[in-house]
Amino acid sequence: MRVVAALVLAPVAIALAYLGGVAWSLLVTLAAVGLFVEWLAVTGFGRELYVVVPGAAALLLIGLCLMAGRIDAALDVLAVGVVAVALTSGERRGWAIAGLLYAAGAEIASVVLRLDPAKGFAALMFVLLVVWVTDIGGYFAGRSIGGPKLWVRVSPKKTWAGAIGGFVASLLVAAGFAAFEIGTTGPLLMLGAVLSVVSQLGDLFESAVKRRFGVKDSSHIIPGHGGLLDRLDGFVAAVIVAAIFGFLRGGADGVGRGLMVW
């Protein structure tokens, strides 16, 4: 079931990423709302609509701003959304605000990375493939080799062999991009390594949050995978870091180019 779900969802994600524009922004916005709702469910706010509604509304408005090319307006909406969630979430507002920032960070980063017409799709595919092969390589290396556990208290099944296997797989993806002259070999290998590590840290972070609240799966929306948080935890961390790299090197209008052209 896990493989079947991946074979259905991955081509859809790739197709919408290729189309870009409104199609990709709409998918990312809906995913961001789902991430926020699941985060609230994990942290104990799931039934508190006065927290869910303002945060979800902010994410939807952010998506509309991004579709219109107004990144500045999206950040303004996020600031208002943070205030609204803070005012409605009581003493545990830190967890609710963190969930909104987590979802909005993934939403904004995923869209701005794709915006660049020259390198946006390549940059987005680079991040997606590094995250996917890190997960797949880690799974098979961990299952076949086993050995010492990575962090038993947070994620009992993860091993150092799996972490290294996923890391090596990410370098193969980077080498493949370089072989097709989509970027320069050295920087791409460095990026692949960094994003692989960040992806695995994002996975561990989400596991730590679930363990903190005694939750096994964030939801059961994806057969064989659990929830959106369970499936996208590594991607969220990796795409945010990738977008920061790209922004620092290429500016708001050239995030994809800034990530891929060195």
Position 183 scores a pLDDT of 79
Is residue 29 within 8 A of residue 63, CB to CB? The reply is yes
Quick one: average pLDDT of 178-198? 93
Residues 6+ apart with CB under 8 A from 5: 222, 223, 224, 225
Quick one: average pLDDT of 216-243? 85
224, pLDDT greater than 70: no
d(CA 172, CA 175): 5
39, pLDDT greater than 90: yes
Tens digits of residue pLDDT in 109-131: 999 999 999 999 999 999 999 99
Residue 190: C-alpha distances to residues 127, 235, 236 (Å) = 13, 17, 19
pTM, two decimal places: 0.94
- Which of left, alpha, beta for 186 (phi over 0: left; psi -120 to 50: alpha)? alpha
At 90, the pLDDT band (50, 70, 90 cuts) reads confident
At 71, the pLDDT band (50, 70, 90 cuts) reads very high
223, pLDDT greater than 70: no
48, pLDDT greater than 70: yes
Tell me how far the alpha carbon of residue 20 is from its chain's centroid: 17
Number of domains the chain contains: 1
Residues 6+ apart with CB under 8 A from 134: 166, 167, 169, 170, 196, 199, 200, 234
218, pLDDT greater than 80: no
Q: Percent of the chain at pLDDT above 70?
A: 97
145, pLDDT greater than 70: yes
Residue ranges making up the domain that contains 222: 2-260
Tens digits of residue pLDDT in 147-182: 888 888 888 888 999 999 999 999 999 999 999 888
Is residue 241 within 8 A of residue 255, CB to CB? The reply is no
